[in-house]
């Protein structure tokens, strides 16, 4: 090792919280790794980002793209990028939703330990001499749900392999994984424009399919926290936590589509309760393999049966959708610059930091020989019965695509609204909407009522009216005080023309502000106490009110009558609603009167 690397101060390594920390001998490896940004975790917890923020960010990105605007990284994109073909493959690591670890009975959650370090550690997790792995069969269930949700072929027989490398976050000196014989293969995921796929990738089609090469189970590592200048604390609570690694084929050709793939896979996993948390809370990480080659030509490399690729590099541990896009763009442009300058792309592992404009080299790319993969001698093959797979497939929860399609077909929602309401708040908002629809139909008592019409109406109220109140008051959906029954009563009164839409919105805002206690009034009480029931004008009253407003605004009337500007009819309707006494003017009837008087 280079003589320029100085010995670091002794590192602090704590295995169990109830024992004193021991100080190992001075080591130059830790400083060497830290100087390259490897396996060190900042002691400051990262700020979690809710899924709804990711959705808003995606909407903003699409809007900016449509207007031709670019962010800072896009502005620096290589001007020759259109002359090169980008190819991306993604490897997704996600924590399985299990009660215990993969090869020990130690708990995999922090519920019983208050999150204290090194309190959920079995002897095998700490690699104490003589201990052996014991596969915990329950960990297979969420892994199988994930494989089925992603359309994979579950293998009847799979095996365990040891991936050897030295680091203090890997007590055994190797990671147990499924490199040669994974438990699931040959899946796929379908994406459309609504998922955020780039228009260039769609090429005029409605959707694209990205292949999934395999899914394998493996152990997670311990957590290393760096305390400057040279102390590293190791928490083994996470060591041995069950993970699955989902490996896509290199069939992705834009940064936007790569982020869309990860987002879609995350949604699939969460819908079947396979993972603990998503990327926004640190439960999912992504590595991306990036290569470029001149358009119209073939490279000399192949992967997963896909040939003609350029030399790939891997970018590790991307923890947000924005990081995926930006890291791919930066690495794409770096490779183009190198190749256009006559250089050669090296197979290597690179890193990415949020806010950076370039990826950084971490190490040369390891291969099969470097890791000395070999079958694990302590573990027998994993045999999965077809009856178990069939049972899980038949009891699998509804997948996101099926939910969106059902929301469109059963409730008349647009594709955009259906996807939004199905995605927000882990589906709780859709459940709220569905329950409200049923209550409205029961209230109307009309067997001939159009469910899709009522569904679309309720969907608009849930998404836009109630959603707008939540956004304005900065309240999370979990804290919403308006119940399904209250919203159903409001909408029922509107449908039966007992109150106006304007009054209904006022009632919703009032209920939103009231605490959910015993003194909370009902919708009917609020209507009666406020004298809000509709007291419609007579036909003559509508005509007289409309004539007065038309006479006061001759230029507006002329625009409708002589110039055919029919959109101004609604201006007159608005004036009638405002000038009429509360609860006396129905917009629909006011429009009929205005159109009759103006001959439009």
Band the pLDDT of 593: cuts 50, 70, 90.
Answer: confident
Distance CA 252, CA 314 (A): 14
Whether residue 408 sits in one domain with residue 318: no
For the cut 50, the answer to whether the pLDDT of residue 152 exceeds it is: yes
Whether residue 382 sits in one domain with residue 294: yes
Give the pairing of strands 313-318 and 348-351: parallel
Whether residue 407 sits in one domain with residue 355: no
Whether residue 164 sits in one domain with residue 137: yes
Q: Which of 193, 157, 197, 192 is nearest to 178 (CA)?
A: 157
Domain span at residue 60 reads: 29-388
91 membership: H or E segment, kind and range: strand 84-95
Distance CA 208, CA 335 (A): 26
Q: At what angle do helices 484-495 and 501-513 cross, to 10 degrees?
A: 160
**What percent of the chain is modeled with pLDDT above 90?**
55
Per the rule left: phi > 0, alpha: psi between -120 and 50, beta: everything else, 542 is alpha
- Residue 23: inside a domain: no
| Residue range 195-236, pLDDT digits in tens | 889 888 898 898 999 999 999 999 999 999 989 898 999 999
**Among 487, 508, 529, residue at a domain's last position:** 529
Distance CA 435, CA 453 (A): 15
Whether residue 197 sits in one domain with residue 148: yes
- Residue 24: inside a domain: no
Whether residue 308 sits in one domain with residue 414: no
- Residue 8: inside a domain: no
Whether residue 404 sits in one domain with residue 505: yes
pLDDT of residue 396: 94
pLDDT of residue 258: 96
Q: What is the mean pLDDT of residues 368-392?
A: 92
**Among 510, 529, 548, residue at a domain's last position:** 529
Number of separate domains in the chain: 3
pLDDT of residue 12: 35
- Residue 14: inside a domain: no
| Residue range 254-268, pLDDT digits in tens | 999 999 999 999 999
pLDDT of residue 577: 81
Whether residue 384 sits in one domain with residue 315: yes
Whether residue 515 sits in one domain with residue 449: yes
């Amino acid at each position: 090792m280079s003589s320029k690397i100085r010995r670091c101060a002794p590192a602090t390594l704590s295995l169990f919280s109830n024992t004193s920390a021991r100080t190992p001998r001075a080591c130059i490896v830790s400083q060497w790794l830290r100087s390259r940004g490897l396996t060190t975790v900042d002691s400051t917890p990262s700020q979690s980002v809710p899924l709804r923020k990711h959705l808003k960010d995606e909407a903003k990105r699409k809007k900016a793209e449509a207007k031709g605007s670019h962010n800072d990284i896009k502005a620096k994109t290589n001007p020759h990028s259109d002359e090169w073909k980008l190819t991306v493959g993604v490897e997704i690591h996600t924590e399985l939703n299990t009660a215990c670890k993969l090869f020990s009975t130690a708990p995999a959650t922090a519920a019983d330990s208050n999150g204290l370090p090194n309190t959920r550690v079995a002897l095998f997790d700490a690699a104490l001499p003589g201990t052996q792995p014991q596969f915990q069969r329950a960990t297979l269930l969420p892994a199988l749900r994930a494989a089925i949700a992603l359309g994979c072929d579950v293998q009847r027989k799979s095996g365990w392999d040891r991936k050897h490398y030295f680091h203090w976050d890997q007590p055994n000196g190797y990671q147990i994984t499924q490199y040669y014989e994974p438990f699931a293969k040959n899946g796929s995921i379908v994406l459309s424009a609504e998922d955020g796929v780039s228009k260039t990738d769609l090429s005029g089609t409605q959707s694209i399919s990205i292949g999934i090469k395999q899914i394998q189970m493996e152990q997670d590592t311990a957590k290393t926290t760096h305390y400057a200048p040279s102390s590293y604390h190791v928490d083994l609570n996470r060591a041995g936590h069950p993970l699955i690694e989902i490996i896509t084929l290199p069939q992705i050709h834009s940064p936007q589509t790569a982020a869309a793939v990860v987002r879609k896979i995350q949604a699939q996993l969460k819908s079947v309760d396979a993972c603990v948390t998503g990327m926004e809370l640190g439960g999912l990480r992504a590595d991306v393999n990036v290569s470029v080659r001149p358009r119209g030509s073939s490279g000399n490399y192949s992967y997963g049966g896909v040939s003609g690729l350029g030399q790939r590099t891997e970018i590790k541990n991307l923890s947000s959708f924005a990081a995926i896009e930006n890291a791919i763009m930066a690495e794409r442009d770096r490779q183009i610059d190198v190749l256009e300058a006559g250089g050669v792309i090296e197979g290597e592992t690179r890193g990415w930091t949020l806010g950076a404009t370039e990826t950084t080299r971490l190490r040369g790319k390891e291969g099969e020989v470097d890791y000395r993969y070999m079958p694990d001698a302590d573990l027998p093959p994993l045999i999965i019965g077809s009856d178990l797979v069939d049972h899980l497939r038949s009891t699998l929860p509804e997948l996101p695509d099926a939910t969106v399609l059902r929301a469109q077909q059963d409730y008349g929602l647009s594709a955009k609204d259906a996807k939004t309401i199905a995605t927000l708040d882990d589906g709780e908002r859709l459940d709220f909407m569905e329950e409200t629809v049923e209550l409205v139909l029961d209230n109307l008592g009309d067997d001939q009522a159009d469910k899709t019409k009522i569904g679309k109406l309720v969907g608009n109220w849930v998404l836009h009216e109630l959603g707008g109140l939540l956004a304005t008051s900065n309240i999370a959906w979990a804290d919403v005080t308006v119940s399904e029954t209250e919203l159903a009563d409001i909408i029922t009164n509107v449908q039966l023309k007992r109150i106006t839409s304007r009054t209904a919105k006022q009632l919703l805002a009032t209920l939103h502000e009231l605490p959910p206690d015993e003194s909370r009034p009902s919708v009917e009480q609020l209507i009666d106490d406020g004298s809000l029931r509709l007291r419609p004008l007579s036909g003559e009253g509508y005509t007289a009110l409309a004539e007065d407003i038309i006479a006061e605004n001759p230029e507006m009337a002329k625009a409708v009558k002589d110039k055919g500007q029919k959109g101004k009819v609604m201006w007159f309707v608005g004036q009638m609603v405002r000038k009429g006494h509360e609860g006396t003017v129905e917009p629909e009837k006011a429009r009929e009167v205005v159109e009759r008087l103006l001959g439009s």
